[in-house]
Chain A
Amino acid sequence: MVAASAGRFSEAGLAQLTEIVSHYPDPGGAILPALWLAQREYGGWLPAEAIVEVAARLGRPASEIQGVASFYTMYNMQQRGRHHIEVCTCLTCGCLGAYEVIDELERILGIHLGQATADGEFSLTEAECLNYCEAATVVQVGERYFGGVNAENAADLIARLRGSEECTPVSLSNAIVEAIVPGYFASSAHG
């Protein structure tokens, strides 16, 4: 059961939340999915009002919801750039040029890791293993993945992002996996 509350959840979002709550024997199970919905409804991050609304809708204390949300890295507790670029630097990517990609992205964007551009278009962080190691170096931008990124084609990545539609933060659908190097995924698919 989803309670009435002030807030920003749309009709569609509320319908989805009601459906999700019905999947669980206890409404607690709906906390993570509700936070995903809230992140979408609030434009890609979870301001304090979003936490309060999720808490009210699920009948839980806001402190509990805040505690859960802040544990997980994909819930954005701060606003990020419209294109939030996460470069995997873990073991395989780190050995196959991820740090050169970061150097190049920092140069192109004029920012350092952990910063956003002044116009709010781009923010840049490193990521832990994205489990696309066969396509190292892998870059995640919202719902999109780019494989085979290197220092030479990093500028192409930025050009593609600049020209693209709004890149929504990860929600529950519409994923696109893209290869910066044409045919990269095809050539690595053997057998």
Chain B
Amino acid sequence: MAELQVLLQHRNVPGIDGIDVYESHGGYAGLRAALGKERQGVIDEVKASGLRGRGGAGFPTWIKWNGLPKSGPAQHYLLCNADEGEPGTFKDRELLLKLPHMVVEGMAIAAYATRSTNGFAYVRGEFVESAAQLRKAIDQAYRRGYLGRNILGHSDFCFDLHIHTGAGSYECGEETALMSSLMGERGQPRLKPPHGPLPVVSGVWGSPTLINNVETYACVPHILTHGGAWYAAMGTQRSPGTKIFSVSGHVARPGNYEVELGTPLTELIELAGGVVGGALKAVIPGGSSVPILPAEKCAGVTLDYEGCQAAGTMLGSGGFMVFNDKTDIVALMRRTAQFYAHESCGKCTPCREGTRWMSRVLDRITSGAGRMEDIDLLLSICDQIDGRSYCPLGDAASWPIRAGIRNFRHEFEHWVRHGSSPISGFVPPVRSHGPASVPGRQE
């Protein structure tokens, strides 16, 4: 049982955030390799790697890249989704902080492959230090000819890269909402197929737009340096490569761990030093949006897209949260619902109203005033949001609550019957005034 570090291999090398040390550890070899190929050859290499989007959806990366026009005068935009906001996830923050050149290099390779001339890294507003590191890396890359005009002497390759700082909105991690936000609008989603165009056809400012997650771009230099087949040899056949998991909660050594896809879930817990403070009760393996797995369902689960799905959950963003047996699941679900109620952008009714009602019903249960029918009411609200919202935020709000009830219904019933927690000594926080408020500002 061990990590397999591809992206994170050099993260603790002093100065690896600077261009000299990065280059001396193989940095920008991937970009050079890419420029030695035709553009389609780069896309084919990514196809051979089997890389799937690391932001949560797991969509094959090469299909996106291949979807942009191969000719024509249109300006193409290349976006990096660094609006990491999924609760429990902190991999993109560390990648930008420690290995910003890897992300810049991956974006430059993608820009070459997709004929994109203008790039934006949309960095979460709170990530001040990560954004500063990325800005420094971009400046260095310009000075060394990895960005800007005629990159590495290539007469037909120009790529400008800028940072766009978010301002506090989970919804902006959804790719079409991110595009709205980049264009200076409220961070609300836009129509997607079958009702609207794919971003690769018409994205920001009506132009073909490629958008990938930070970790996805960070994989690309390695794939170009060592070859798609080398990458595909890691992980499983359908989920190739490695994945960074952000492990937090009741473990001895929380942090980012990079393992091969297909690694047993229980091994990741051991890597992080095992469960502390009690026995394992549950795991949320892929960020707050994915269904919670009770301990008894963890054995035999492998951490790959298919393995998680077979277990009734999802790999998601890799935000891996571990909870011991002192955890009150109903209180955890109440806090989850509070998050989605706060972050719903308000555009569509099922999500705007549904997330709020879920939050209020869970408030009622954890205040001790719950009614037995509230449990089925919650399930009914989940059904009315799931699949009916404008963007996946609504789905993501309903999945964890539904799974929480399905797997821990007895704890909800205990709360209703006794008006108190099934966990002895647990007192729920009496802070049900909802979203973080500021002086004088009403929710």
Real binding pair: yes
- A interface, CB within 8 angstroms of B: 23, 25-26, 28-33, 35-36, 67-68, 71-81, 84, 86, 89-92, 94-96, 99, 102, 113-116, 123, 125-136, 140, 143, 145, 170-177, 188-191
Q: Bound state CA distance, A145 and B125, in angstroms?
A: 13
* A115 in contact with B186 given A33-B165, A99-B431, A190-B253 (CB within 8 Å): no
Query: Judging by beta carbons under 8 Å apart, are A134 and B168 in contact?
Result: no
Instruction: Verify B169–A71 contact, CB threshold 8 A.
Output: yes
Number of interface residues of B (CB under 8 A): 75
Question: Does B124 make an interface contact (CB < 8 A)?
Answer: yes
Binary contact readout B409-441 vs A (1 if CB under 8 angstroms, 0 otherwise) = 000000000000000000001010101111111
Contact B438 A188 (CB under 8 A): no
Q: Is the CB of B255 within 8 A of A188?
A: yes
Residues of B within 8 A of A (CB): 3, 5, 8, 11-12, 75, 84-90, 93, 118, 120, 124-129, 131-132, 160, 162, 164-170, 181-187, 205, 246-250, 253-257, 284, 288, 319, 321, 323, 327, 331-332, 335-336, 339, 342-343, 345, 429, 431, 433, 435-441
Partner of B128, one of A94, A113, A173: A173
Partner of A134, one of B87, B90, B181, B429: B90
Most chain B beta-carbon neighbours within 10 Å: one of A25, A68, A123, A131: A131
Sample of 25 A–B contacts (CB below 8 Å): A25-B75, A29-B182, A32-B181, A71-B169, A72-B187, A73-B168, A78-B438, A78-B440, A80-B439, A89-B429, A91-B88, A92-B87, A96-B249, A123-B438, A128-B170, A128-B435, A129-B87, A131-B126, A132-B93, A133-B248, A134-B254, A170-B128, A175-B131, A188-B253, A191-B3
Q: State the Cβ distance, B262 to closest chain A Cβ, in Å.
A: 20
The distance in angstroms between the C-alpha atoms of A123 and B441, with both chains bound, is 13
Name the A residues within 8 Å of B319 (CB-CB). 133
Which residue of A89, A91, A128, A172 is within 8 Å of B431 (Cβ)? A89
B257 contacts which chain A residues (CB < 8 A)? 191
Total A-B residue pairs with C-beta atoms closer than 8 Å?
203
Q: Please determine whether A91 and B186 come into contact, CB atoms closer than 8 angstroms.
A: no
| Interchain nearest-CB distance for A151 vs B (Å) | 13
- Residues on the B chain within 8 Å of A126, using CB: 431, 436
Determine the residue in chain A with the shortest Cβ distance to B400. Answer: A91
Q: Determine the chain A residues whose CB is within 8 A of the CB of B184 once the complex forms.
A: 26, 28-32, 68
The chain A residue sitting closest to B160, CB to CB, is A23
**Contact between A172 and B165 (Cβ–Cβ < 8 Å)?**
yes
Identify which of B125, B129, B185, B321 contacts A74 (C-beta below 8 A).
Answer: B125
Partner of B327, one of A74, A95, A114, A190: A95
Known: A95-B327, A131-B84. Contact between A28 and B183, CB under 8 A? yes
Residues from chain A with Cβ under 8 Å of B160 in the complex: 23
Q: In the complex, which of the residues A23, A92, A173 contacts B132, with contact meaning CB atoms closer than 8 Å?
A: A173
Indicate which residue in A31, A71, A78, A91 contacts B332 across the interface (CB closer than 8 Å).
A91
A74 to B166, CA, bound (A): 9
Contacts of A136 in B (CB 8 A): 248, 254
Give chain A residues whose Cβ lies under 8 Å from the Cβ of B435: 128
Given A72-B169, A175-B128: A102 and B248 within 8 A (CB)? no
By beta carbon, the residue of chain A nearest B284 is A91
Supposing A73-B168, A91-B335 touch, asked if A128 and B438 sit within 8 A by C-beta, the answer is no
| Contact A127 B167, CB 8 Å, known A32-B181, A189-B12 | no
| From A81, A134, A143, residue with most partner B Cβ within 10 Å | A134
- Would A114 and B12 count as touching, CB distance under 8 A? no
Contact B323 A95 (CB under 8 A): yes
Q: How far is the CB of B82 from chain A (nearest CB, A)?
A: 11
- Choice from B84, B185, B438 contacting A114 with Cβ under 8 Å: B438
B288 contacts across to A, CB distance below 8 A: 90-91, 129
3 pairs of A and B residues whose beta carbons are closest in the complex: A31-B184, A73-B168, A175-B129
| Known contacts A28-B184, A68-B186; A131/B90 CB under 8 A | yes
Cβ contacts under 8 Å, A96 to chain B: 249-250
Q: A86-B436, A128-B339, A134-B256 are in contact. Are A33 and B164 (CB under 8 A)?
A: yes
Question: Is there contact, CB below 8 Å, between B321 and A131?
Answer: no
* Interchain CB contact under 8 A, A175 and B167: no
**In the complex, how many angstroms separate the beta carbon of A112 from the nearest chain B beta carbon?**
9
